[in-house]
Amino acid sequence: MFDIDVEIGMREGRRVPKVAFAPDVFTWPADEPRLIGGRCPTCAAVTFPQVASCPRCGSPEMAQHLLPRRGSLWTWTTQDFLPKEPYASGETPETFRPYGVGLVQLGDEVRVEGRLTESDPARLRIGMEVELVVVPFRVDDDGTEIVTYAFQPVRPVQDQRDR
């Protein structure tokens, strides 16, 4: 089992806890976070998130497996409207900001869906290298900052509109 813990950050001059949106999804706190997947010891299938049994061979023994931090953007889209519940960002239709969503190929192991730190279509390219980062998701009523994972481009793409 990997340690999933609380990090203390600063907001408006005061200390606030930062916690992952769910346990056992990514290593936290960590300078170089990693997604926590599963690997079947029988057939070597890799999953994300970790599941109780192997979807390929049916083995009931799945081991935790840290996934690569970098991968390539396999496809993407933008989320241009506030998702319906159970989405729990705390945003309203007035405060919602569109975000990118991508399917990322992590090595030759697995494809993972996740937020992208970039939402401008002119700055996203299929095949571009992206890296896992942790980003704010919402702030609870008690001031706790809930964080989630996202993928950010390793190198920016020149905006085609600038040409």
Return the residue matching tokens 């730190």: 117
For the ranges 45-54, 83-92, 98-107, which has the lowest average pLDDT? 83-92
Coil vs helix vs strand at 22:
coil
Evaluate if residue 15 carries a pLDDT over 80.
no
Nearest to 54 by CA among 70, 66, 43: 43
Q: Which two tokens stand for residue 122?
A: 């002119």
pLDDT computed for residue 58 by the predictor: 97
The percent of residues above 70 in pLDDT, for the chain, comes to 88
State residue 107's pLDDT score: 93
- Residue-level pLDDT at 159: 56
Cite the beta strand spans of 7-163 per DSSP E.
Answer: 7-11, 14-20, 36-39, 46-47, 63-66, 70-79, 99-106, 110-116, 129-139, 145-153
Examine the pLDDT at 143 and tell me if it is beyond 50: yes
Q: Name the average pLDDT for the chain.
A: 89
Task: Identify whether the C-beta of residue 157 lies closer than 8 Å to the C-beta of residue 125.
Answer: yes
The model's pLDDT over 76-101, given as tens digits with 9 standing for 90+, comes to: 999 999 998 878 888 889 999 999 99
- Whether the predicted pLDDT of 2 surpasses 50: no
Least confident of 11-15, 64-68, 158-162: 158-162
| pLDDT value for 97 | 93
Q: Quick one: pLDDT band at residue 16, thresholds 50, 70, 90?
A: confident
Tokens of 93: 């239709």
Residue 137 in this model has a pLDDT that exceeds 80:
yes
Domain residue ranges in the chain: 7-34+69-158
Question: Which residues are bridge partners to 136 per DSSP?
Answer: 147
